[in-house]
A = this chain, B = another copy of it.
Amino acid sequence: MEAALKAMSDPTRREILQLVQHEELAAGAIASNFTVSRPAISQHLAVLKSAGLIDERRSGVKRLYRTKVEGMAELKAFLEMFWDVRLSRLKAAVEADTKKKETCDDNTKS
């Protein structure tokens, strides 16, 4: 997850992920969508690949890339953990509010 998060924290790489989520694209075709140099895109592709976020396939002299969504599974699970906590907080708040009507106690100090 560490690698996936760092990889996605770059806006250029996020754009690449969106570009190749529907169709396979060659490295050059990807680079043509950006103003930065082609080697820079090549390095971004290497980062995405080593983070498990894209797949590479060779076809003749070209290299085709495509988003590999499995690499985001861990991160997705991490995020959903917080959503579950939010729900349990709501539940706890409701229960605490119910109990407060029985035992009114003030322990704050100022």
> Which A residues are within 8 Å of any B CB, using their own CB?
2, 5-6, 8-9, 11, 14, 17, 21-22, 59-60, 67, 69, 72, 75-76, 78-83, 85-86, 108-110
Contacts and interface: CB of A to CB of B under 8 A. Distances in A.
Contacts of A21: 81-82, 85
Given A5-B8, A9-B9, A86-B69, A110 B60 contact: yes
For chain A, what secondary structure do more than half of its interface residues adopt (helix, strand, loop), or is it mixed?
Answer: helix
B79 A67 contact: no
A81 B8 CA distance: 14
The 8 A-B residue pairs whose C-beta atoms are closest, nearest first, are A5-B9, A9-B9, A69-B82, A6-B9, A69-B86, A21-B85, A76-B79, A72-B79
Given A72-B79, A76-B79, A110-B60, A85 B9 contact: no
B72 A82 contact: yes
Nearest to A75: B79
